[in-house]
Structure 1
Amino acid sequence: MTGELGRRERKKQLTRQALVDAAVRLFTERGYEQTSVADIAEAADVSKRTYFLHFATKEDVLLADGGTRIDQAVRAIEERRPGAPLREVLAEAANRMIDNAAGGDLPNGLAAIRARLVVTTPAVQARVLHSLFTAQTRIAAALREAYPDTLDDVTAAGLVGALTGAVSAAAVASLRLGEPPERTRAVMHHAAEIALRHIESLDEHDAGHTAGATPRRS
């Protein structure tokens, strides 16, 4: 049974990758607006129904790696070293997301075509914003669970929103200028550093609160 499940999962992943590859090729050759979901499915040699088993919309094929980026950020929080300060943990989460989003492991050209469309196509922009909200919600929940004595739900959401918002805004600005991927990656990291400066004050406040606390008497 385990072997059968493994084969099914591999087949599923291969189909998903074939759809991504077909979409990237067609978007590049024909243009995004001129390519339909049916075109992508046909190019990948699957049915339109199969396409929608993998992606809810045409825009979602451009965000095929989005779940992986969120997983990496959450994992960075969950795998933090004991006593790690907030800034260190969020910096690691941001680094993992940025390096993935910049296309370091996407040789099929997905990152490049997505970068172009996100600054030119309203439908893609809207879907990216939706995916950003989903990411913020998951990461904030993981952060709140990791630091229950330091953060409440609102503060965790605010920190994650400030960080991801700064990184996303810097990326879009860089893309609009037509800067190369390595430059976009650099400005995203710089934006993360700016956003993370406030988090240092939370770490310092938490450390001071702990140091100044009155020990309990048994």
Structure 2
Amino acid sequence: MSLRELKRRRTREAIVAAAVELIERDGYEQTTIADIAAAAEIGTRTFFGYFATKEDVLFPESDVRLRAAVREIEARGPQDGPAEVLLRALRQVGDDSDDLTGRLAALRMRLIRQVPAVRGRALQMQLDAQQEIAKHLAAAFPGELDLVTAAALVGAFVGAVTGALQALLDTAAPQEPADVQRAVERATAVALRPWVHPGAHGTA
């Protein structure tokens, strides 16, 4: 990573951290983009170089998860089926980040339930990602999936992730990220079991 890339990464992380701190303390509606920028020690113009809206700050790694899924599809082995590549992508994301399992994840889940704008943004991003992953799966496994069955598989996968996160994070009790990750992996393994290839590598 170049110095420029490292600086951008740190600024992005500072924006997200500031947003989480302010929203938890003051509430979503009461926290402005100007507040977040000031707390991150940047200008509002710089903020918009990283995030288009306040809602987007709550989903900083959505593109990372999408790229991880596409990367695993493209790197599939001869014994891998569509379920295996999705499960492996989830484990990789969990190893690299706590975006799905940590403090931000819990805040995001609560705001999705409470704030229509956040709920709408979450749904749009989820639908876009599901469509993109399903398209890549159908192209990678033409003898096994068409667009409809690929969409069904990805829907089951995303639904399992979302359901597990809701069950664990939509509570007042704090959760350990490692426990949340294990629960999500268990839920997705159950949901995708009908599609798992016998003897495939890298599955639960």
TM-score by length of 1: 0.75
Q: Specify which of 150, 172, 175 is matched with residue 169 of structure 2.
A: 175
Q: Specify which of 54, 69, 75 is matched with residue 73 of structure 1.
A: 69
Q: Which runs of 5+ in 2 are unaligned?
A: 199-204
Displacement after TM superposition at 1:23 (Å) = 0.9
SS in structure 1 opposite 2:192? Answer: helix
- Whole-angstrom distance in 2 between the partners of 1:101 and 1:178: 22
Q: Specify which of 17, 22, 29 is matched with residue 25 of structure 2.
A: 29
Question: Who wins on radius of gyration, i.e. which is larger?
Answer: 1
Question: Could you tell me which amino acid in structure 1 is paired with residue 133 of structure 2?
Answer: I
Displacement after TM superposition at 1:150 (Å) = 1.9
The structure with higher relative contact order (CA 8 Å, sep 6+) is: 2
Displacement after TM superposition at 1:98 (Å) = 5.4
Listed one character per residue, the Cα deviations across residues 144-178 of structure 1 (whole Å, up to 9, x for unaligned) are: 22212222222212211121122212321332344
After TM superposition, list the pairs within 5 Å mapping 1:85-164 onto structure 2: 85-97=81-93, 102-103=98-99, 109-164=103-158
Q: In the alignment, does 2:11 pair up with 1:15?
A: yes
Displacement after TM superposition at 1:74 (Å) = 1.9
RMSD: 2.8
Listed one character per residue, the Cα deviations across residues 49-77 of structure 1 (whole Å, up to 9, x for unaligned) are: 22122111111111112221222222222
Q: Specify which of 40, 43, 47 is matched with residue 44 of structure 1.
A: 40
TM-score by length of 2: 0.80
Q: In the alignment, does 2:167 pair up with 1:166?
A: no
Question: Could you tell me which amino acid in structure 2 is paired with residue 145 of structure 1?
Answer: A
Aligned length: 196
Listed one character per residue, the Cα deviations across residues 159-206 of structure 1 (whole Å, up to 9, x for unaligned) are: 111211222123213323445245543442232123212324xx58xx
- Structure with bigger helix share is 1
